Structure 1
Amino acid sequence: MNAFDISARSSCHNIALATTPFRHLSSSYHLMTLKLQHHVSIGERRSIRVVRITASLWPNTDSTVSQPSPAESNGALEIDSPYSFLKCDGSKTVHAAERLGRGIVTDAITTPVVNTSVYFFKKTADLIDWKEKRQFSYEYGRYGNPTTAVLEEKMSALEGAESTLFLASGMCTSSVMFLALVPAGGHIVTTTDCYRRTRIFIANMLPKMGITATIIDPADVDALEAALENNKVSLFFTETPTNPFQRCVDIKLVSELCHRKGALVCIDGTFSTPINQKALSLGADLVVNSATKYIAGHHDVLAGCISGSEKLISQVRSFHFILGGTLSPNSAYLVIRGMKTLHLRVQHQNSTAMKMAQLLETHPKVTRVYYPGLPSHPEYALAKRQMTGFGGVVCFDIDGDIMRTIKFVDSLKIPYIAPSFGGVESVVNQPAIMSYWDLPRKEREKYRIYDNTVRFCFGVEGYEDLKDDVLQALDAI
């Protein structure tokens, strides 16, 4: 018997358990299936083929983009989850969808990597049953994979979502989300401070579909209300905290305002992670993450994900089936591996960044520090209210010009000069060089990207070593 056989076909010698996703099961049925698997012998367990019948995985041949319906909830999305008895995020990152609910039955503690691009049907009748949705099966790698399904279930448990879709990168996720949920000729609202590639996609690509945008300051509620009043807004999209200056958006307030006008709210939580901030519980409809960063956390894989209601994620999934951008099973495995230490890494990075931000703010060679955990931050009170930690990225301005700032960066011994953040290794860069060097200085400064700004992304090294390294580099300039 192939331990990775996840088909729904049973024989007289095999036990076939067809189960719906555990989030839709009653607690008693969930326990019954777990107990059944526990009490059978190892040999019998190896022959049990558990099928997770996930409606959102069925290919949708209707590629029409429709205007999303007005947000159905006036507040947080309430999920009846089988993981509700796990109160700690750390327990969910370790066990959700694996010890509790994995569709692949083996005796392995870790989730197997299912490396295949296609899945077969034993007979034509099985194919017809699948086509007519009488039974579940995987069919083609772009439409689903058992390893990736475990990852998606795990992320849903952590975000408190009905459904999650993983794609090949964070930008792929955001792009597919826009195309799936904003109709041609639609209007979105976004914020000034954000990841540059997202800004480019909104400014250069969406207009080709007739989609326009209003761009507001992250804290300008009046501008948001005006945009909602004067336009038929389909979607409000923002990072919080933002990249690189870590401005914070009041998720609860903007969700209430947008829902009154029938607009969806999508939060990019890459800087916060679901460890520090639960966007869905604050009223957002969707949350996206570049899982390349903290979620995977080891600088060794590209991935992105979007979490929310089954209805909305199904719409995004349908577009993903057409556009591609599929996460490979090996990448899914690396993200699963990384997620199991997410809470430990983020807590350590929170602590290091907080202490370093406080240290830098008092240093005579630093003129300004951007970190939401500092009382000097413009949204400090908001950050304290909607976040439990403030992340591992600290931005600050060196007292000097570009050459003095370069000397500081080059004098550091521990961090790599590199893009990205959220990994176990610390990385550092000057945004003016790393992300905006192709623009003239005056153009960069329109986005408040100055030559003396440093973005320091702390890893999991010891605080004392990082502190000593930063101080010696400051002494060198």
Structure 2
Amino acid sequence: MSDKETKAIRIQAKRSQNREHSVPLYLTSSFMFEDAEQARAVFANEEEGNIYSRFSNPNVDELLDKMCYLEKAEDGFAFASGMAAVFSSMAALLQSGDHVLAARAVFGSTHQLLTSVFAKWGITHSYADASAPETWESLITPATKMIVVESPSNPGLELIDLEWLGELKRKYNLILVVDNCFATPILQTPTDYGTDLVVHSATKYMDGQGRVMGGLVVGRKDLIAEIRFFARHTGPAMSPFNAWVISKSLETLSLRIERHCENALQLAQVLEKNDALEEVRYPFLPSFPQYELAKKQMKQGGGIVTFSVKGGYKGAQQFIDNLKMISITSNLGDTRTIVTHPASTTHSKLTEEERQATGITPGLIRISVGLESINDIIEDIEQALEKVTV
């Protein structure tokens, strides 16, 4: 058993006088003080203590302690959603006139932040292609302050060489932000390569059962201090209940990720032989364009498989409509296998040109491979593919 597995289970908030084995829920909006002087001292940061659950809460603190350990980070903050975490990690650290260098393959809402929200504040961006690392340095300007990437990306599973990226950020003294949602700290640890901030949609694999929403940012203490100040006064904090659920879910994260990866690899190997598909992408398939990089920086290939159905959008629609067991929803990282058509859902707000640039074709399907019997997953997908007639 690895140290991460043990710590995800054994890191706990301090027990109360009731000596509980499992940490209780702290469903309180505020916390009391013994007297006026203690209230003054806690507000002045002269004494440690909780004030208000928008600032901190024992359930949230426990979750952050676990995530900081898993990601080898100094500090962190928990948010109400993954996008609140993505937004706050940039908004807290950027100002008008700054420039962001981002991988072209980012989540649709991250793209909207860069093109629509931050643009109104005078924050500019450039997109770089992971397949052309030699072009990245030419996109860095004197105004560049931050690099933002996902690895693997959503939904195309594009990888970024994190070791190379760490060297690039050090050369230009930039802040490196890595969205580690698809890999989780079980499969890769971006801080090993010099990443300053690691971002997660805790709604996905951290919870793992499609119950609650949450976002996490962990990393350098000085940067988290700025993010905490921003979040404390803008209010996107995670609720104590959601933190309690996600913290308990981390106890099984390693086991779940192992099964997700085993099922996904078997599914990808079977689908590679299916004539109804134009392409199958999975990081641990030898046919994957970045297979060697995947083996270098990931322990397993993750729980997401993507493929392109022949017949474009109509073919994809027929495939989805003929599934019997697999859930049709835009979430991922669930115990249940999920199918998503990115071009018409999660990335529908991108232009056709923008989708093509990131490999999101009309026939692209994203499968979040669940924990069901792999035979049942394969059977459902194969019978649906057999009914595609276009």
Per the TM superposition, whether the score is higher than 0.5 is: yes
SS of aligned partner of 1:174: helix
1:60-114, Cα deviation, whole Å (9 max, x unpaired): xxxxxxxxxxxxxxxxxxxxxxxxxx84322121112x1xx63656422211111
Counterparts in 2 of 1:262 and 1:437: CA distance versus 1, 3 Å? closer
Moved more, 138-147 or 438-447: 438-447
Counterparts in 2 of 1:182 and 1:441: CA distance versus 1, 3 Å? closer
SS of aligned partner of 1:316: helix
Q: Which residue of 2 aligns with 1:455?
A: 366
CA contact (8 A) 2:259 2:371 kept: yes
Counterpart-to-counterpart distance in 2, 1:103 and 1:207? 47
1:427-453, Cα deviation, whole Å (9 max, x unpaired): 102112222446675664454322211
1:324-383, Cα deviation, whole Å (9 max, x unpaired): 111111111110121111111110000111111111111111110121111222211111
Counterpart of 1:235, as a letter, is: M
CA contact (8 A) 1:350 1:392 kept: yes
- Answering whether residue 111 of structure 2 is matched by residue 196 of structure 1, we say no
Counterparts in 2 of 1:402 and 1:133: CA distance versus 1, 3 Å? closer
- Answering whether residue 147 of structure 2 is matched by residue 147 of structure 1, we say no
Which of the pair has the greater relative contact order for Cα pairs under 8 Å at 6+ separation? Answer: 2
How do 1:31-430 residues align onto structure 2 when only pairs under 5 Å count?
87-96=2-11, 98=12, 102=14, 104=16, 106-228=18-140, 230-430=141-341
Q: Which residue of 2 aligns with 1:58?
A: none
Counterpart of 1:161, as a letter, is: A
Any unmatched runs of 5+ in structure 2? none
Q: What is the CA-CA distance between 1:307 and the residue it aligns to? A: 0.9
Counterpart-to-counterpart distance in 2, 1:435 and 1:232? 31
Counterparts in 2 of 1:120 and 1:158: CA distance versus 1, 3 Å? same
SS of aligned partner of 1:265: strand
Any unmatched runs of 5+ in structure 1? 1-85
Counterparts in 2 of 1:103 and 1:181: CA distance versus 1, 3 Å? farther
SS of aligned partner of 1:137: coil
CA contact (8 A) 1:365 1:474 kept: yes
Counterpart-to-counterpart distance in 2, 1:442 and 1:281? 35
Q: What is the CA-CA distance between 1:463 and the residue it aligns to? A: 0.7
Counterpart of 1:134, as a letter, is: E
Counterpart-to-counterpart distance in 2, 1:192 and 1:444? 10
Counterparts in 2 of 1:105 and 1:89: CA distance versus 1, 3 Å? farther
Counterpart of 1:89, as a letter, is: K
TM-score calculated relative to the size of structure 2: 0.95
Counterpart-to-counterpart distance in 2, 1:394 and 1:422? 12
Counterpart-to-counterpart distance in 2, 1:324 and 1:226? 37
Q: What is the CA-CA distance between 1:249 and the residue it aligns to? A: 0.4
TM-score calculated relative to the size of structure 1: 0.78
Counterpart-to-counterpart distance in 2, 1:415 and 1:90? 29
Counterparts in 2 of 1:105 and 1:353: CA distance versus 1, 3 Å? farther
